[in-house]
């Protein structure tokens, strides 16, 4: 399984990166055709990320797009994906699985500026996520866990084949946007890699929105994660501050996401 950071800037696009977007790839057998191939799942599609995604995968080969929640910084580029799939010069590309919280299609229409007669059925196959309801994309098993944020939000535990030995299964977890909660701890239990948001620093006192570097580190420590990548850091925040806060809490392997970073698991 391979994780590529397509965009990682918190809450908006930034000077060095698009907003939240992560590509998870795993090789396995296609249940429909029996073919052995790479499966491509995109988690979140924030502003500017669809264009950046082309650098890492042919967009026609995306198997699923899954939204952690429906704040614009995690889904606004769904409109680029819609235009690409519907109006591609080689013909419509057919419906791709689009996963997200309960008001998914209403939010897509809102961002697009479309009315209720638009159902996007030629390009999207909606999947409304439920905490604990696992779904599979090729060899990747994805389980949503409820987050603690200002709107309905999920983190994901993804289990898939190890990159050097497909018979061995490995796991990664992505928090989406969330503050510290028990379900995030369950999600991250024993994972090889935790991709954790750290949208706040300790100067932010409000709760129920984001993790800080310290709370992300507490999550990694309590869940027994093997390594952690910090993401969703706002462009006005010095990443060193977040990293320092995290390192004071956990002595494990911590790094900071950047656009183009790839992690092989």
Q: Which stretch binds Zn ion (CB under 5 A): 107-115, 122-130, 173-181, 235-243?
A: 173-181
- Could you say whether residue 71 binds Zn ion (CB under 5 A)? yes
Q: Please, what is the angle between helix 239-247 and helix 213-223, to 10°?
A: 40
User: In the complex with Zn ion, which residue's Cβ is closer, 21 or 23?
Assistant: 21
Q: Residue 153: CA atoms inside 13 Å, Cβ hemisphere, count? A: 27
> Which member of 73, 77, 123, 179 binds Zn ion (CB under 5 A)?
73
Q: Is 77 exposed, middle or buried (0-12, 13-18, 19+ CB in 10 A)?
A: buried
Q: Which stretch binds Zn ion (CB under 5 A): 65-73, 94-102, 188-196, 237-245?
A: 65-73
> Phi/psi of residue 29, each to 5°?
-90, 130
User: In the complex with Zn ion, which residue's Cβ is closer, 170 or 181?
Assistant: 181
> Phi/psi of residue 96, each to 5°?
-110, 145
Q: How far is CA 16 from CA 29, 115, 220, in A?
A: 36, 35, 26
User: In the complex with Zn ion, which residue's Cβ is closer, 123 or 177?
Assistant: 177
> Which member of 44, 77, 123, 177 binds Zn ion (CB under 5 A)?
177
Q: Which stretch binds Zn ion (CB under 5 A): 27-35, 135-143, 176-184, 234-242?
A: 176-184
User: In the complex with Zn ion, which residue's Cβ is closer, 73 or 146?
Assistant: 73
- For the bound state, the minimum distance from the C-beta of residue 172 to Zn ion, rounded and expressed in Å, comes to 19
Q: Using alpha carbons only, give the angle 43, 48, 49 rounded to the nearest 5 degrees.
A: 25
Per-residue x/- track, 25-64, Zn ion (CB under 5 A): ----------------------------------------
> Phi/psi of residue 59, each to 5°?
-60, -20
- By rule CB under 5 A, what count of residues binds Zn ion? 3
Query: What CA–CA distance (Å, rounded) separates 223 from 213?
Result: 15
Instruction: By CB under 5 A, name the binding residues for Zn ion.
Output: 71, 73, 177
């Amino acid at each position: 399984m391979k994780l590529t950071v397509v965009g990682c800037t918190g809450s908006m696009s930034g000077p060095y990166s698009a907003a939240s977007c992560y590509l998870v790839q795993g090789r396995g057998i296609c249940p429909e055709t029996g073919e052995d191939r790479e499966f491509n799942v995109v988690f979140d599609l924030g502003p500017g990320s669809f264009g950046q995604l082309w650098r890492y995968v042919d967009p026609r080969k995306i198997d699923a797009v899954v939204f952690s929640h429906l704040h614009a910084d995690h889904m606004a580029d769904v409109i680029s994906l819609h235009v690409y799939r519907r109006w591609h010069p080689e013909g419509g590309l057919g419906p791709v699985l689009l996963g997200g919280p309960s008001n998914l299609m209403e939010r897509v229409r809102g961002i697009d500026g479309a009315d209720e007669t638009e159902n996007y059925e030629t390009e999207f196959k909606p999947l409304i996520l439920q905490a604990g309801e696992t779904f599979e994309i090729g060899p990747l098993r994805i389980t949503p866990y409820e987050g603690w944020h200002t709107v309905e939000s999920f983190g994901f535990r993804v289990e898939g084949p190890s990159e050097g030995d497909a018979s061995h299964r490995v796991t990664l977890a992505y928090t989406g946007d969330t503050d510290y909660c028990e379900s995030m701890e369950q999600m991250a239990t024993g994972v090889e890699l935790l991709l954790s948001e750290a949208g706040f620093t300790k100067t932010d006192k409000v709760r129920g929105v984001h993790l800080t570097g310290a709370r992300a580190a507490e999550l990694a420590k309590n869940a027994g994660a093997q390594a952690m990548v910090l993401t969703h850091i706002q462009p006005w925040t010095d990443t060193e501050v977040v990293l320092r806060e995290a390192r004071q809490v956990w002595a494990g392997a911590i790094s900071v996401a950047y656009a183009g970073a790839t992690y092989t698991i």
